[in-house]
Amino acid sequence: MATFEIFSKMLNPSREELLLFVKNYSDILIAALLSIVTVLLVPKIARGRVTSSKGSIPGGLGLPIFGETLSFLSTSNSAKGCYDFVRRRRMLYGDWFKTRLFGKIHVYVPSSEGARTIFASDFATFDKAYLKPMSDAVGVDSLLVVAQETHRRIRRLLSDPFSMSSLPTFIQKLDKILCQELKTREESGEKFSVLALSMKLTSDAMCTLLMSVTDDKILRMFEHDCALVSDAMISFPVMIPGTRYYNGMKARARVMKVFKDMIAERRSGKEYSDDFLQSMIERDTCPDNEKLTDAEIMDNLLTLIIAGQTTTSAAMMWSLKFLDENREVLDRLREEQLTIARARPEGASATHEDIKNMPYCVKVMKETLRLANVLVWFPRVATSDCTLEGFEIKKGWRVNIDVTRIHMNPDLFPNPTQFDPSRFDVPEMPKPYSYIPFGSGPRSCLGTNMAKATIMIFLHRVVSGYSWTIHDWDPSLEKMSHIPRLSSGLPITLKAL
């Protein structure tokens, strides 16, 4: 009887169960359906083969157009994360391999030498190129996807809030928010997700820095909708209600409307704040090469919020996990941070000068970024036929610098799976392009200094003020995320020291 009831429930799912199934597996179902149609319509001779001739890159291209997209989405929907797709193919074909995703041929470059060649040739032989859902999420005018000349103008105009001179103000604002959040959570005694806290902190800090937003309702809207946009970055790009892509694009539209209304109010004089958004609006009368269009302002506001909210928050989460697993590292870091905290007047904010006096914290931060690999690869597109380390690259192929493979190469980093900040003790710099968490060259991360400061202030306040207990050690990664993040979010409770 019990078995019959189980089968009956499986054959007659409720509406809520169907919606949950569609939400979790819609991208895979769509890709599977299209792949089946392709298999039926396209002769076997036209399908991708594994290549191994001299100068060619081994790998399976799968079906025409769709290639191995179904496998990629299926792997991304597992507890091992999207990078497991790369790991499996490297086991089959070797360090260098190619595949086809979302209609484009992708080559994965596993070496620091290859990374150097590509980064040095940005805007020449190579340019940036994202998967379609990622490009759709950030918008056509985002710094991440625009062409060379536009990129130079936008990057120059965006640079001021992320300059070294802006860091002291940002650090004080972030520290104030962080101290209150940690105090509230410690006093409650309840467990909370480090990832959720970190995403809230980074989202709020970016919104405050860029647009002076302090209204909690608006801040929560930005946090929620920008997270949905980020979730759409690994999805099948079709507008079907209920899918991750659909939900992400609808969230993007809502965020764009809020941006548009904010710009209109600033331009009319109803609202004024001394911030990045105001500085862009005040350039309205400048020549075209000295200002941003409204579309460029909005796409890049979204890009900057998402960039801070996703990558930096993931690194903050991983840092506490790694420290908890390596108590000697934690003890040494705490000693350094307590020395800094005790030298500051009680109740005073952390400062930029404090960060300059955290040499061991810098090493902990570097090792966290190396081991966590919150950006698993850097995407580029070949703008002409070329050769990389003897392998032929065709114009239009996507070329992905495999940061994870480089950072986990035992020839570059001995015992690469071990969390060991002392590997950065050596006076010699790491081999060029062997440590690239923020990329390199003209398209390197605009917010590098801010990201580093955010992680270090977070570590400073947590380590010097609290001990913590982790309540879920499940190593499963969040499904369908382009950023490696624990599915649990790392739930902890805090206790004041």
Q: Measure the CA–CA gap between 107 and 400, rounded to whole angstroms.
A: 6
pLDDT interval class at 8 (50, 70, 90)? very low
Q: Is residue 110 part of a domain?
A: no
pLDDT digits (tens, 9 = 90+) for 369-405: 999 999 999 999 999 999 999 999 999 999 999 999 9
Q: Is residue 388 part of a domain?
A: yes
Q: What is the DSSP letter of 476?
A: P
Q: Is residue 107 part of a domain?
A: no
pLDDT interval class at 63 (50, 70, 90)? confident
Q: Is residue 331 part of a domain?
A: yes
Q: What is the DSSP letter of 432?
A: T
Asked if residue 260 lies in contact with residue 298, where contact means CB atoms within 8 angstroms, the answer is yes
Provide the 10 A C-beta neighbour count for residue 454: 26
45, pLDDT greater than 60:
no
Residue 155 neighbours by CB under 8 Å, 6+ apart: 143, 442, 446
* Mean of the per-residue pLDDT values of the chain: 87
pLDDT for the residue 15: 54
pLDDT for the residue 36: 52
Q: Is residue 120 part of a domain?
A: no
What burial class does residue 349 get, using C-beta atoms within 10 Å of its C-beta: 0-12 exposed, 13-18 middle, 19+ buried? middle
Q: Among residues 166, 127, 171, which one has the least CA distance to residue 149?
A: 127
* Section 63-88 average pLDDT: 87
Q: Is residue 106 part of a domain?
A: no
Q: Vertex 457, ends 232 and 200: CA angle to 5°?
A: 30
Collapsed DSSP state (helix, strand, coil) of residue 83:
helix
165, pLDDT greater than 90:
no
Binding site annotation covers 445? yes
Provide the 10 A C-beta neighbour count for residue 309: 27
pLDDT digits (tens, 9 = 90+) for 119-137: 998 888 898 877 788 889 9
- Residue 189 sits in a domain of what CATH number? 1.10.630.10
Q: How many domains does the chain have?
A: 1
Q: Measure the CA–CA gap between 172 and 178, rounded to whole angstroms.
A: 10
Q: Is residue 91 part of a domain?
A: no
User: 405 is in which domain, residue-wise?
Assistant: 132-496
37, pLDDT greater than 70:
no
Q: Is residue 485 part of a domain?
A: yes
Q: Measure the CA–CA gap between 380 and 396, rounded to whole angstroms.
A: 10
pLDDT digits (tens, 9 = 90+) for 291-328: 899 999 999 999 999 988 889 999 999 999 999 999 99
Q: Among residues 468, 470, 471, 474, which one has the least CA distance to residue 486?
A: 474
